[in-house]
Structure 1
């Protein structure tokens, strides 16, 4: 059986039974990566220690082996909240105006990556594959190589990779990218992101591919892949049979009271385009007053990163916008926006998605957006809802039968809402069938197997046959 070490910046959510309650996100693909494999998941515990020791906590949760380490307050401030989330996250999403460039953030990021590498190194054996995930851990392979690790190490970026004109605004960008080239395989969500990475290498470092997906750097060959992350579609559909999902669906239908529900589920983040979404919905309500009391928008947006100023600002902005729109359009028996800031379980969200006539997934920039795929998986094949999807998500490259829009255009969103509400059931079923086939075919298992085949050194990726019927 394959021996695999999966490394992410955080492991505590699943260990405490809080598996990405806001929908989508990183933990679920990691669970799929570990399923059926002799795997260990390692990362920060989510806990703060007075002094960093590197002491590992080993545990098993729902059959998954996990190892975690506590970080000290400086690591959390400079590494996690600092460089990872106040510098890299805005940069990777094209928001140089929100990025904070502080030298102590950079130092903390390097220290955090080094500490995680040193903590896991004693558990890495000769036959282990190592798979590192996402932007907080760009430097882990570089640190492991310095410690003498010769294992095959892969990296997957779940966020976008920006154009080089944006990335070059990052101090020490070349050193950061050169550290990435210590990995054996580097994966991106889309071909556009992969090409942006290759363009940076050629323009800034003078590195050209020796094959389509192969580059050479300092005597080492590195595979650069475009491989979209998926969900476990069958598992997600199974959620619908759970008592919690059934209750959520029933409550949603009763609450709708015959009205068409438009559902949005997003982490409260500037990248998700929520102010623009509210503006487009407002534009629709103003243009079609005859349809106002026939619909409502349920926007679920759990808060995130509250200790970072721009996140508190967006919460204040959305509260003001929703209040203004409700004040403008509401009647004595109807409120156009139901804006909810609390977490919901995956089962609750599955029930809500099942009840929704429209799913709004309209980020300004997103690496993939698994909520779009979860919405598709949750639909009733005989009466499916319509997915409205931002063209600036990685999911848009796969889900071509969604109504794809420019999220910056209020008019486009308003027009898409009207089109979705008027769409005949035959067209909704045709579009959904195509979307579900893709979500079910290029699922989490396909993504994991495809990446790990390349990481082992295999050049062949087996693609499953397209399903013609829903699970």
Structure 2
């Protein structure tokens, strides 16, 4: 068995003597690296005026790391420019925010060519290569152009839209054809799988088989979904320890017995943060009995501060939080606590555990691991309630959450009120079902499944993507809407229907 070679935009090289990062790909690939050895290649995170052209190497905990620097010009064009000002909004269905520049698009390809030039000499004939995310779409084609015959897989961590959206990107056909260089293209959800197949069929004109396969000059390109997971039990144990830490106790004391609603993510326009603040304001307006009884903590770690859109978003969130606090604060109660910086992972886990409501309402997300971490962090004896956007990939399987449309502020407010009032037995049932499902799909399982399909191991595809998606249980509860009419054609229930269902549920359990 050959090595596993991982390529990602940013490579988290641990400092000497430090353990690898506690989350993300480092956890997912730990088992694979330990059993077969591996190389992790990509950008160092350094952008300088005159970057060294050499590949820098390090070895930590049995893993070889190889990183290169970028010039400031390359960073501006490739990363801040094309990747995050054009590809990111397009993949998240935000065409109004798409900013395309032809020179930046060329810079994106130049950087991918440079990555291929630097990676090729490091490869061994029996290596398996796994490329990660939208910054690296052309890398497989660049490696093939340099003679690579390796098995190469690509995993797309963010949403994959249908061709009607994707085709708005200049050069869309070239990007889709780049994916034909891979042996396996993985996405997060069934919805993304459908979008990928639609783009492949219309963007290339080639026949896509129903299970997700394209034949090209004797090669089979597989298109599959692999919902990414977390280290569920590990995160739950971390939360149980952290809730007793001095920081968590100090925070709990400051709440003075009030209920806690929590949101935590990067500061990004895809996360629906302004919409979430408006929903919390609607909660306080429409349910005055909640005033002085609930506190909303929003953690939004700053990111991409060199992109103007993110600066505007930061100002909007600060204005909204200030307005809510100005409208509703009492001398001894501040409704919104806004933290605009990263919080240590263990501290955050403790905050999740003490929160009665986890508010995860992106406008569009590939998966959203915050939703899974919130559930994993809960005390099974007295769990909180997850309020989840139906546009998050996690909603495909986390059907016991209260599913909402993040564009409906009143609907989200009503869902929060339902969550805060939910009986203990119902909370336990919903949480238990989601926790069991999280445990059945560990982050190690996710990596193993992808690699098994990529390497053609027998039995790796006993359950194709579509069949797996159809087996997912259907949502039991959707957020209340302002309407009092009968259930809509979309399947969303009205406020009175939700209230009646919750009451009926409680009666059945008496």
Change (3 A) 1:84 1:13: farther
Q: Which residue of 1 aligns with 2:229?
A: 230
Change (3 A) 1:391 1:458: same
Whether the 8 Å contact between 1:14 and 1:27 is mirrored in structure 2 is no
Distance apart, 1:31 and its partner CA: 5.2
Whether the 8 Å contact between 2:172 and 2:203 is mirrored in structure 1 is no
Q: Which residue of 2 aligns with 1:161?
A: 160
Distance apart, 1:217 and its partner CA: 2.5
Q: Which residue of 2 aligns with 1:282?
A: 281
Distance apart, 1:32 and its partner CA: 6.5
Whether 1:340 and 2:373 are equivalent positions in the alignment is no
Whether 1:440 and 2:439 are equivalent positions in the alignment is yes
Equivalents in 1 of 2:237, 2:246: separation in Å? Answer: 14
Name which structure has the greater RCO, CA cutoff 8 Å, separation 6+. Answer: 1
Equivalents in 1 of 2:263, 2:139: separation in Å? Answer: 35
The root-mean-square deviation of aligned C-alpha atoms, in Å, is 2.2
Distance apart, 1:62 and its partner CA: 4.7
Change (3 A) 1:363 1:455: same
Alignment of 1:23-102 (within 5 A): 28-29=27-28, 34=33, 36-102=35-101
Q: Gaps (5+ residues) in structure 2?
A: 464-510
Whether 1:405 and 2:404 are equivalent positions in the alignment is yes
State how many pairs are aligned: 462
Change (3 A) 1:34 1:350: farther
Equivalents in 2 of 1:62, 1:298: separation in Å? Answer: 37
1:162-210: CA deviation from partner (whole Å, max 9, x where unpaired): 1211111111110111011100000010111111111122223222224
Tell me which moved more, 304-313 or 285-294. Answer: 285-294
1:99-136: CA deviation from partner (whole Å, max 9, x where unpaired): 11101111110011111111111111111110000000
Change (3 A) 1:268 1:34: farther
Whether 1:206 and 2:209 are equivalent positions in the alignment is no
Whether the 8 Å contact between 2:12 and 2:21 is mirrored in structure 1 is no
Alignment of 1:248-397 (within 5 A): 248-397=247-396
1:367-409: CA deviation from partner (whole Å, max 9, x where unpaired): 0001111111111010111111000011000111111100110
Alignment of 1:73-152 (within 5 A): 73-152=72-151
Equivalents in 1 of 2:46, 2:383: separation in Å? Answer: 42
1:21-45: CA deviation from partner (whole Å, max 9, x where unpaired): 9xx7666545566454412211100
Change (3 A) 1:114 1:53: farther
For residue 191 of structure 2, give the secondary structure of its aligned residue in structure 1.
Answer: helix
Q: Which residue of 2 aligns with 1:6?
A: 6
Tell me which moved more, 208-217 or 375-384. Answer: 208-217
Tell me which moved more, 303-312 or 111-120. Answer: 111-120
Distance apart, 1:7 and its partner CA: 0.6
Q: Which residue of 2 aligns with 1:179?
A: 178
Change (3 A) 1:32 1:349: farther
Equivalents in 1 of 2:208, 2:90: separation in Å? Answer: 25
Distance apart, 1:440 and its partner CA: 1.4
Whether the 8 Å contact between 1:303 and 1:341 is mirrored in structure 2 is yes
Distance apart, 1:3 and its partner CA: 1.4
Equivalents in 1 of 2:352, 2:147: separation in Å? Answer: 48
Whether 1:220 and 2:228 are equivalent positions in the alignment is no
Equivalents in 2 of 1:365, 1:59: separation in Å? Answer: 37
Whether the 8 Å contact between 2:239 and 2:352 is mirrored in structure 1 is no
Equivalents in 1 of 2:93, 2:55: separation in Å? Answer: 36
Whether 1:195 and 2:194 are equivalent positions in the alignment is yes
Q: Gaps (5+ residues) in structure 1?
A: 465-471
The structure with more radius of gyration: 2
1:339-366: CA deviation from partner (whole Å, max 9, x where unpaired): 0011111111111101111101000000
Equivalents in 1 of 2:232, 2:307: separation in Å? Answer: 34
Whether the 8 Å contact between 1:155 and 1:185 is mirrored in structure 2 is yes
Equivalents in 1 of 2:15, 2:81: separation in Å? Answer: 25
1:138-178: CA deviation from partner (whole Å, max 9, x where unpaired): 01100111111100000000000112111111111101110
